[in-house]
Amino acid sequence: MVTRRAYITHMGSYLPNRILTNADLEKIVDTSDEWIVSRTGMRERRIAHEGEFTSDMGYQAAKKCLENAQIDPNEVDLIIVATITPDYLFPSTACMIQELLGASRAAAFDIQAACSGFLYALGTAKSFIESGIYNKILVIGSEKLSSIVDYEDRSTCVLFGDGAAACLVQEGGSGLRIDAFELGADGHQNHLLILPGGGCRKPTSLETLKNRDHFLKMDGRGIFKHAVRRMEQSMVETIEKANLTCEEIDWLVPHQANIRIIDSLTKRCGIDDSKVIKTVEKYGNTSASSIGIGLDEMIEKNLIKEGDNLLLLAFGAGLTWGSMVLKMVGAK
Ligand code: COA
């Protein structure tokens, strides 16, 4: 039996050109550049324009990805979109992007695993490819977090930004081979980061509007504590699954929630700081898009060399987490 292997062969990303700086935030809420930089490492984030939605940003990233691959949208078998800020509760944002791309052959669905969404989607794509069901899958992370952030709540509004990333996952070829992954969840802690309103439990009403339940609520300290512990456990498990050791990891591509979380994982992984991808300063936390944006920047800068092992790490609401090992095979 021939073993099928899933590869990320091409990527694309999109960031709105509207920038929200710490100085801008100082004018909106009681905060300071010093507080934001020292607690989070963030200096700016991108904000989608009026009339620019999650599907539009995801489409832009996917279009670039397919152009890089020189693939007609009709060759795509499946579109998976990871997002917590879909255009609508339904239909899925994946269906909207399918229409924008003209990828009429593709099946399409959304995955909701918050900031771990990109890894949940990539793991799903790998499974579809290696089981022989599909050959070409577009995985997209796209978020318009500015639509669910409360710009009157200083403890959350400084943290989030908008943006999108897409990758083409194919059977065989060359690129980043998906060698191993691990996904996890802890529903007991669902209250730590939540969008309370708008679902069937709290449908939109005057009451939910008054309580600002249409904006995300977060227990930052609670999240922080779980994030480091869960990602560390996940990292160990996945490196082992890939038959590697920590020393053999060449690049760490973590979710970009907070520079202190990233630094703590860097230490625990024992990897040199120069081998850790950090975009948090420029883009803040873009949830399901952050890892894809980091990966696309690495590819653009031609940082990844033949045989390099990459460790992707994510954590988010749910709680959810995940890790994945990729190996560069057949680099040009
Ligand atoms: N500007 C100034 N002060 C602020 C502030 C802001 N933007 N936000 C909160 N503060 C204040 C608080 O009110 C608190 O004041 P107090 O001591 O007088 O009560 C103080 O700063 C400390 O708040 P705390 O929440 O303990 O800060 P922290 O060091 O835990 O940092 C986070 C807050 C949110 C940056 C941090 O907890 C974090 O990053 N958590 C993880 C978040 C995350 O990863 N979320 C996404 C999951 S993917």
For residue 206, the number of C-alpha atoms closer than 13 Å in the C-beta half-sphere is: 0
285 among known catalytic residues: yes
Of ligand 1's atoms, which has the minimum distance to the CA of residue 40? 35
Q: Determine which helix (DSSP H) or strand (DSSP E) holds 178, and give its type and residue range.
A: strand 175-185
| Rounded-to-integer distance, Cα 286 and Cα 141, Å | 9
Residue with tokens 């009429």: 104
Distance CA 108, CA 104 (A): 10
Residue type, 65: C
Per DSSP, helices labelled H in the chain are 22-28, 33-40, 54-69, 93-101, 117-130, 154-157, 206-210, 220-241, 259-269, 280-283, 290-300
Q: Using an 8 Å Cβ cutoff, are 36 and 21 in contact? A: no
Q: Whose CA is nearest to atom 42 of ligand 1?
A: 220
The reply to whether the predicted model has a pTM over 0.85 is: yes
- pLDDT score at 177: 97
Q: How far apart are CA 108 and CA 88, in angstroms?
A: 15
* Cα→Cα distances 289→130, 247, 284, Å: 24, 27, 11
Decide the pairing of beta strands 6-14 and 162-171: antiparallel
Rg (CA), the chain: 19
Delineate the domains of the chain, giving CATH numbers in brackets: 6-173 (3.40.47.10), 179-329 (3.40.47.10)
Pick the residue whose CA is nearest to atom 36 on ligand 1. Answer: 220
Per-residue pLDDT for the chain (332 aa), expressed as one digit of tens each?
669 999 999 999 999 999 999 999 999 999 999 999 999 999 999 999 999 999 999 999 999 999 999 999 999 999 999 999 999 999 999 999 999 999 999 999 999 999 999 999 999 999 999 999 999 999 999 999 999 999 999 999 999 999 999 999 999 889 999 999 999 999 999 999 999 999 999 999 999 999 999 999 999 999 999 999 999 999 999 999 999 999 999 999 999 999 999 999 999 888 999 999 999 999 999 999 999 999 999 999 999 999 999 999 999 999 999 999 999 998 76
The length of the chain is 332
What is the DSSP code (8-state) at residue 116?
G
> Which of 65, 95, 115, 167 is the catalytic position?
115
The verdict on whether 226 is a catalytic residue reads no
257 lines ligand 1 (CB under 6 A): yes
Cβ-contact 115, 285 below 8 angstroms: yes
- Which ligand 1 atom is the nearest neighbour of the CA of 223? 41
Atom 40 of ligand 1: nearest residue by CA position: 220
Ligand 1, closest atom to CA 114?
A: 48
- What are the residues facing 327 on neighbouring strands? 177, 309
Those residues whose C-beta lies under 8 Å from the C-beta of residue 248, and which sit 6 or more positions away, are: 309
CB 323 within 8 A of CB 172: no
- The H or E element containing residue 13 is strand 6-14
Indicate whether residue 188 lines ligand 1 (CB < 6 A): no
Is the CB of 226 inside a 6 Å radius of any atom of ligand 1? Answer: no
Token digits of residue 247: 């020393």
Question: So what's the pLDDT on residue 189?
Answer: 95
Atom 48 (ligand 1) nearest CA: 316
Helix (H) or strand (E) holding 79: strand 78-82
d(CA 57, CA 53): 6
**What are the residues facing 183 on neighbouring strands?**
322
The predicted pLDDT at position 82 comes to 98
Helix, strand, coil percentages (3-state) for the chain, rounded to 5, are 40, 25, 35
Determine contact, residues 116/315, Cβ cutoff 8 Å: yes
